[in-house]
């Protein structure tokens, strides 16, 4: 990930202003420690802190078109850049950077080119021919981006809050899937897939289609000119990412450069579930596995740095970001600059505990839509900023634009959790990769239950955080919380503790408004309570309150597996419809 900072339409073009922009841009240097650049045109400043992943030698930014009338600063990766280059035969490219296509696409197609980009990105484009500019953010919000306004009429764009919180009168999150055009003077959504309207899809589930779509999503993310690896917790999502990467690594450009053996990384407290599970998967896949340990005190000591970099006071996000923050530092020390991670699967397939209580497929589907739309404020924010804090890039294939469209077009009846039939959460994803002839993973790993939120790194992690907050936040402080923090008032001492730290770094009202829901429950609280009123008294966002539901479903699933019943309907003697020329119920069951 890189860091971008732009000041647009500033009435001042003095040396002092340029120096100030450079000073603010250096606050983002952790995102891009490899090079920095700035381009000034009148009262417009485009600054860039580069993390060099593709074409490290010549891809420095800002980037330009042939006559340098169009300039762009980009944070992200454009996975289809080679295809896009071939569609622009009359254009001359000065670098091999994947981001080099953006200026030329704009020159060719105007503002309508953004949907042609396949990747994760935030960019600012300045057209000096008419002094107009364009700002855009990727479909789901994998890359972080904020917009601010100055009293002098200028518009500010930054990858992180810290780039603009001292100089803008007001700032807010730049919404995913949107672009801002100075020509039209407003924001508009460029990403409008069928699922976004939350209409209930009806496409039949085809395991092969889902499998191939995810394989393609992972493989395209092997585009790199630097050493890379995978984050491996031993859960379903990261294990599938690692399995596909290891399977397809041999023979690729990356393999020729860095070796065909994949590197995997895991973090946890001594004896944590994640460390044990990840080691088992790594041994099965034959990866070069790196296991990092931390203590509860190590994590507590890092909390202030985590909040400064993650820029949130959301309890669940901070809990999960801290181990990832510590691991990212260790990964960077090995020389790796890019990792592939498993965020997004739970939102797409309904992997959270409260989805067990979904009353029907309509509500199930709408809730997955809500979760995906909010990802940029939670897991995407965590994955992007926890890694970027150490100059490491995280790529997330589950949020591939094409894969999301395939997965969200499936009739949600197939995603419903039916424990009496042995269908646990994310069953259609597990089934798609259940290949007995050429297994991606051992069956007990493929059907392993999900560790809840931050518990995977060690069950004492959350308890340690709560105990620490208990020592530093008094009952009197909690009683006055509504007066001290009237917006998103913290409801627990842990939430209050994080909020105090956040307010010290980001005291502006605009900053606190960028965090949704404060000490938010990991599930959508209103929906969870509507599905099961017993969860209304749970203030803790760890998901532990519903663990009984999950364990019950898991035990039934394991019973089905023990009996050899991979497909509950087949076990009951009910034939399934054949799909895409598959010739038997058994072949459908294993997704071949």
Rounded CA-CA distance 466/478 in Å is: 14
Dihedral pair phi/psi, residue 238, rounded to 5°: -70, -30
Q: Which residues pair with 122 in a beta bridge?
A: 75, 137
Which H/E stretch holds residue 497?
Answer: helix 493-505
* 70-78, strands of its sheet edge to edge: 63-64, 70-78, 119-127, 132-137, 178-181, 186-189
Bridge pairing between strands 155-158 and 3-8: antiparallel
CA 13, distance to chain mean position in Å, is 37
Task: For tokens 């509507």, name the residue.
Answer: 530
Rounded CA-CA distance 352/543 in Å is: 8
Pull the structure tokens for residue 42: 């009148």
Spatial neighbors of 19 by CB under 8 A, at least 6 apart, are none
Rounded CA-CA distance 197/192 in Å is: 8
Spatial neighbors of 300 by CB under 8 A, at least 6 apart, are 464, 465, 468
103-130 burial, b if ≥16 CB within 10 A, otherwise e? bbbbbbeebebbebbbbbbbbbbbbbee
Spatial neighbors of 159 by CB under 8 A, at least 6 apart, are 1, 2, 3, 4, 5, 28, 31, 75, 122, 143, 144, 145, 146
Any idea what DSSP says for residue 410?
Answer: B
Which H/E stretch holds residue 277?
Answer: helix 273-285
Pull the structure tokens for residue 520: 């938010």
Of 262, 273, 384, 375, nearest in space to 328 by CA: 384
493-505 and 460-472 are packed helices; what angle lies between their axes, rounded to 10 degrees? Answer: 70
Q: Is 34 helix (H, G, I), strand (E, B) or coil?
A: coil
CA 581, distance to chain mean position in Å, is 35
List the catalytic residue out of 2, 10, 44, 168: 2
Task: For tokens 């076990």, name the residue.
Answer: 571
Pull the structure tokens for residue 572: 């009951």
Q: Give the CA count within 13 Å in the CB-facing half-sphere of 308.
A: 12
Per the annotation, the verdict on 99 as an active-site residue is: no
Q: Give the CA count within 13 Å in the CB-facing half-sphere of 56.
A: 11
Rounded CA-CA distance 489/509 in Å is: 14
Residues recognised as catalytic: 2
């Amino acid at each position: 990930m890189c860091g971008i900072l732009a000041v647009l339409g500033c009435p001042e073009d003095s040396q002092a202003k340029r120096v100030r922009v450079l000073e603010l841009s250096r606050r983002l240097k952790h995102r891009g420690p490899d090079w920095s650049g700035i381009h000034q045109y009148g009262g417009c400043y485009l600054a860039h802190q580069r993390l060099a992943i593709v074409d490290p030698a010549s891809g420095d930014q800002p980037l330009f078109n042939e006559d340098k009338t169009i300039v762009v600063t980009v944070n992200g990766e454009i996975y289809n850049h080679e295809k896009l280059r071939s569609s622009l035969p009359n254009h001359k490219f000065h670098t091999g950077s994947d981001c080099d296509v953006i200026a030329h696409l704009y020159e060719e197609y105007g503002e309508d080119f953004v949907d042609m980009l396949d990747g994760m990105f935030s960019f600012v484009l300045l057209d000096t021919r008419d002094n107009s500019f364009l700002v855009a953010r990727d479909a789901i919000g994998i890359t972080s981006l904020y917009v601010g306004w100055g009293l002098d009429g200028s518009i500010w764009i930054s990858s992180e809050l810290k780039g603009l919180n001292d100089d803008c009168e007001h700032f807010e999150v730049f919404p995913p899937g949107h672009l801002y055009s100075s020509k039209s003077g407003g924001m508009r959504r460029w990403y409008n897939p069928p699922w976004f309207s939350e209409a209930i899809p009806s496409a039949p589930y085809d395991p092969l289609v889902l499998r191939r779509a995810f394989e393609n999503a992972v493989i395209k993310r092997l585009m790199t000119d630097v050493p890379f690896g995978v984050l491996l917790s031993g859960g379903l999502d990261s294990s599938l990412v690692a399995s596909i990467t290891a399977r397809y690594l041999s023979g690729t450009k990356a393999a020729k450069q860095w070796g065909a053996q994949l590197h995997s990384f895991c973090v946890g407290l001594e004896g944590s579930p994640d460390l044990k599970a990840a080691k088992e998967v790594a041994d099965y896949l034959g990866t070069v596995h790196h296991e990092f340990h931390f203590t509860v005190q190590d994590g507590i000591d890092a909390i202030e740095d985590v909040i400064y970099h993650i820029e949130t006071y959301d309890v669940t996000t901070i809990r999960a970001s801290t181990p990832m923050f510590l691991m990212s530092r260790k990964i960077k020390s090995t020389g790796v600059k890019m990792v592939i991670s498993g965020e997004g699967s739970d939102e797409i397939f309904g992997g959270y505990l409260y989805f067990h209580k979904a009353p029907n497929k309509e509500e199930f589907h709408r809730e997955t839509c809500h979760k995906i739309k909010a990802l940029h404020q939670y897991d995407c924010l965590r994955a992007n900023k926890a890694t970027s804090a150490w100059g490491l890039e995280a790529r997330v294939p589950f949020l591939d634009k094409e894969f999301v469209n395939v997965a969200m077009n499936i009739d949600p009846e197939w995603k419903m959790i039916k424990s009496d039939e042995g269908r646990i959460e994310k069953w259609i994803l597990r089934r798609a990769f259940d290949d007995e002839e050429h297994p991606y993973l051992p069956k007990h790993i493929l059907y392993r239950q999900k560790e809840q939120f931050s518990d995977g790194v060690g069950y004492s992690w959350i308890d340690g955080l709560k105990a620490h907050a208990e020592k530093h936040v008094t009952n009197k402080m909690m009683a006055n919380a509504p007066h001290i923090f009237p917006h998103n008032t913290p409801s627990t001492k842990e939430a209050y503790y994080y909020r105090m730290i956040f307010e010290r770094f980001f005291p502006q009202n605009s900053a606190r408004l960028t965090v949704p829901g404060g000490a938010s429950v990991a599930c959508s609280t209103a929906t969870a309570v509507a599905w099961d009123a017993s969860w209304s008294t749970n203030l803790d966002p760890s998901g532990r309150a519903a663990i009984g539901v999950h364990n019950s479903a898991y035990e039934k699933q394991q019973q089905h597996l023990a009996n050899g019943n991979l497909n509950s309907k087949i076990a009951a003697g009910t034939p399934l419809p054949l799909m895409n020329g598959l010739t038997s119920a058994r072949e459908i069951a294993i997704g071949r």
